[in-house]
Structure 1
Amino acid sequence: MTAILQDLIKPVSFAQAARDPQGFADALCGSFREYGFAVVSDHIIDEEVIDRAVAETKAFFALPDETKRQYHQPGGGGQRGYTPFGVEAAKGAASVDLKEFWHRGRDLPQGHRFSDVMPANVSVDAVPGFDEATRDLFDALDAMGRVLLKAIARHLELPENWFEARVAEGNSILRLLHYPPIQGEPDGVRAGAHEDINVITLLLGAEEAGLQVKTRSSEWLAINPPPGALVVNVGDMLQRLTNHVLPSTTHRVVNPSAERMAFSRYSTPYFLHFAPDVEIKTLPQCVSADNPDRYLQPITAHEYLMERLREIRLA
């Protein structure tokens, strides 16, 4: 039987960040240290921006399959545009995930130095408001994430703006997810057990339940943020940078109960990434006699990303 994660950890109010920056940083990262996840209440993202993006997302996924597939980018590793149902799989999983999704990334000027590894976004003419709505949500979540990184830097005893130059041109992604209704007994789940590869992930609440987090004792805890809250979790890049002081936690999206199988589930995670050329090298303050350096060989963010894309069958 799964417990409810919100019953075990206290949400951290974003309002605290202004009046008590150190207290907010330590509460946020204290939750990360224990669970790899935190719930941030009272976020400042405009609800109209969220609602408009969700509405446009639903409109896109309601399009005929042949229309959606026109926006698929073969050979692109799923980095931009549409990825059809049943393509992605969790690392090491035998079955594919029961989902389809859209990726929007950062808009770069023509000729930018990262243009060869950060593809241009795909425009959707079949849903007129889609491009603007998803861009606005990307920008809002990006701004929120960069504020949270200042708190993480403070907790790690780094300069407050330590992450800023490393993520300002980051290969971050807004993923618009659709888990269609389920019929019969499918071979697989909506999202198999996995960890995120990026720095941190920001997740707004979904209308349907299903997200579960694995604890250190291997118990699965259900989590769904209350209205006005974000779920934030540590990704593998931050775990590697901090030598597992801030752990990246396994999570999944399970199939619904029988009475909810006829309902779609929509979700909009924002994966905040480093810039492709950032070298991920263990922070010296995260190394000790009790916690020796696990990663003696640094790796760039782009090399790390491509390694994972191959593992999950997108590249």
Structure 2
Amino acid sequence: MYPQQETLMTTDSIPVIDFSPFIDGDAAARAEVARQMRQASSDWGFFYLAGCGMPQASLQQAFADSQALFALSDDAKQAVAWQNAESNRGYVGVRRERLDPNKPGDLKEAFNLAPEQPEGPRNLWPAELPAFRPQMEDFLQQCVATADRVLQAFALALQQPEDFFVSAHDQHHHTLRLLHYPALPAGFSAQGGESRAGEHTDYGSITLLFQDDAGGLEVRTRAGDWIAATPIPGTVVVNTGDLMQRWTNHVFCSTPHKVNLRSSNRERYSIAFFCHPNHNADIRCISTCSDAENPPRYPPISAGEHLLERLNATY
């Protein structure tokens, strides 16, 4: 566990915030954590969250499941391949996705799954890994619980009822993404300027990112410099996405980030939980995020419409 940070904004490091007082503390402690999260989301759009309540054993199992999945044969992975943006589930091969539309496809492979809805698309499960489904469904539930707690803190930070964001996410239109960055051969040269993951912002409200120790994630500062989001054991990286930026009228910002080719001689694994509002949620400027000098910057948009626009532009 990491100590609370008195000064969140620095010139060279992404803030680390201890979330345990929000989970276990009194109203004053919860308000202080929410304040720190607001400042970090405004100054950086990124922060490390320690003490988030995610069981370590579940996280370790999820990484083990991810490694087993990506070790399957190409035929087995293609049997559960991603088909379209409407379902947004299944296996995505190396270079299939292009997060930066001006660069070649990303040097990574991925597998998407999501909380299933009674009448929605179904997840695709590899037949070769019978334990994969129940273990990932359990991990999904833990991610939803953690994301809801973060959303509660965000609501308090904006002087909104604690369930303001949670109620707008209660249909669980989220995406869990397992990511594998294969090791590149010695002497590999990025002729077309490709990256392991191109420069981009996330599409939804918030993202929870779990990293292994390989590193490579970089975040762009307000000054335009790129700094490393070095893995810190016991933390989850939280960042705000495009819809949260619209919702809060840039009080919380959506920050460009990428995964560089440094240390590409070794494999990298990460797990991202993309928290997205209900598809029918009306995303419009929150009342406490605008005034006469800072009027709403965006017209209202439905969360589902926004997501489809971004996904169709990516693949």
Task: Determine if the TM-score, normalized by the shorter chain, exceeds 0.5.
Answer: yes
Aligned to 1:147: 149
- Residue 60 of structure 1 aligns to a residue whose secondary structure is helix
> Among 182, 185, 189, which residue is 1:185 paired with?
189
> Among 32, 47, 63, which residue is 2:56 paired with?
47
CA distance in 2, matches of 1:294, 1:280: 12
Contact 1:206-1:224 within 8 A present in 2 as well: no
The reply on whether 1:275 has 2:286 as its aligned counterpart is no
Aligned to 1:79: 88
- Residue 262 of structure 1 aligns to a residue whose secondary structure is coil
Unaligned runs of 5+ in 2: 1-9
Instruction: Provide the identity percentage.
Output: 33
Aligned to 1:94: 103
- Displacement of 1:92 after TM fit? 2.9
The reply on whether 1:104 has 2:113 as its aligned counterpart is yes
CA distance in 2, matches of 1:196, 1:73: 19
Mark the CA change 1:58 to 1:78 in structure 2 (over 3 Å): closer, same or farther. farther
Contact 1:205-1:229 within 8 A present in 2 as well: no
- Displacement of 1:228 after TM fit? 1.1
CA distance in 1, matches of 2:164, 2:46: 21
CA distance in 2, matches of 1:237, 1:279: 10
CA distance in 2, matches of 1:78, 1:212: 29
Contact 1:205-1:224 within 8 A present in 2 as well: no
CA distance in 1, matches of 2:231, 2:216: 12
Contact 2:211-2:269 within 8 A present in 1 as well: no
Contact 1:104-1:121 within 8 A present in 2 as well: yes
> Among 231, 241, 245, which residue is 1:239 paired with?
245
Give the alignment of 1:1-315 within 5 angstroms: 8-17=13-22, 18-19=24-25, 20-76=29-85, 79-109=88-118, 111=119, 115=120, 119-183=121-185, 184-186=188-190, 187=192, 188-257=194-263, 261-295=264-298, 297-313=299-315
- Displacement of 1:10 after TM fit? 3.9
- Residue 202 of structure 1 aligns to a residue whose secondary structure is strand
TM-score (norm 1): 0.90
- Residue 203 of structure 2 aligns to a residue whose secondary structure is coil
- Residue 269 of structure 1 aligns to a residue whose secondary structure is strand
Q: Which amino acid aligns with 2:277?
A: F
TM-score (norm 2): 0.90
Q: Which amino acid aligns with 1:150?
A: Q
Unaligned runs of 5+ in 1: none
Residues 110-143 of structure 1, C-alpha deviation per residue, up to 9 Å, x if partnerless?
A: x3xxx2xxx2111221112211222122111110
Q: Per chain length, whose mean CA-contact separation is higher, i.e. which structure has more relative contact order (CA < 8 Å, sep 6+)?
A: 1
Count of paired positions: 298
Contact 1:170-1:276 within 8 A present in 2 as well: no
CA distance in 2, matches of 1:160, 1:136: 25
Alignment RMSD (CA, Å): 1.6
CA distance in 2, matches of 1:47, 1:9: 23
Contact 2:85-2:308 within 8 A present in 1 as well: no
CA distance in 2, matches of 1:128, 1:153: 39
Task: Judge which range, 156-165 or 85-94, deviates more.
Answer: 85-94
Q: Which amino acid aligns with 1:272?
A: C
